[in-house]
Amino acid sequence: MTTYETPSCAYCPDTVRACRNGEGDARGPGYCPSKTDADGIATAEDYFRDPFDARVAQVSAVVESEGYCKWTRVEEICHFAKRMGFRRVGIATCISFVDQSRVFSAILESHGLDVASVACKNGGVRKEELGIKDEEKIRPGNFEAICNPISQAELLNRAGCELNVIVGLCVGHDSLFIRHSKGLVTTLVAKDRVLAHNPIGALQLADTYYSRVWGPDKPVTPPKLPAEGRKRGRAKTR
Give residue 238's pLDDT: 29
Overall residue count recorded for the chain in this entry: 238
pTM comes to: 0.92
Separation between Cα atoms, residue 198 and residue 17, nearest integer Å: 26
SS3 121: coil
CA-based max dimension of the chain: 66
CB 90, CB 157: distance < 8 Å? no
What is the pLDDT tens value at each position of the chain, 238 positions in all? 678 999 999 999 999 999 999 999 999 999 999 999 999 998 887 777 899 999 999 999 999 999 999 999 999 999 999 999 999 999 999 999 999 999 999 999 999 999 999 999 999 999 999 999 999 999 999 999 999 999 999 999 999 999 999 999 999 999 999 999 999 999 999 999 999 999 999 999 999 999 999 999 999 998 999 999 887 544 343 2
What single string gives the DSSP state of each residue in 152-200? HHHHHHHTT-SEEEEESPPTTHHHHHHHH-SSEEEEEE---TTTTT-TT
Residue 232, pLDDT score: 56
Give the closest residue to 205 by CA, choosing from 224, 192, 186, 190. Answer: 192
Per DSSP, the three-state class of 99 is helix
pLDDT value, residue 45: 78
Strand-pair partners of 118: 92
Residue 11 vs residues 21, 29, 136, 222, 223: alpha-carbon distances, Å: 18, 9, 38, 10, 8
CA distance 204 to 38: 32
44 sits in which H/E element: helix 38-46
Give CA separation, 136 vs 25, 76, 94, 105, 131, in Å: 50, 39, 20, 34, 10
Distances (CA, A) of 144 to 13, 123, 147, 152, 235: 47, 12, 9, 17, 52
Angle, CA 201 vertex, CA 196 and CA 207 arms, to 5°: 140
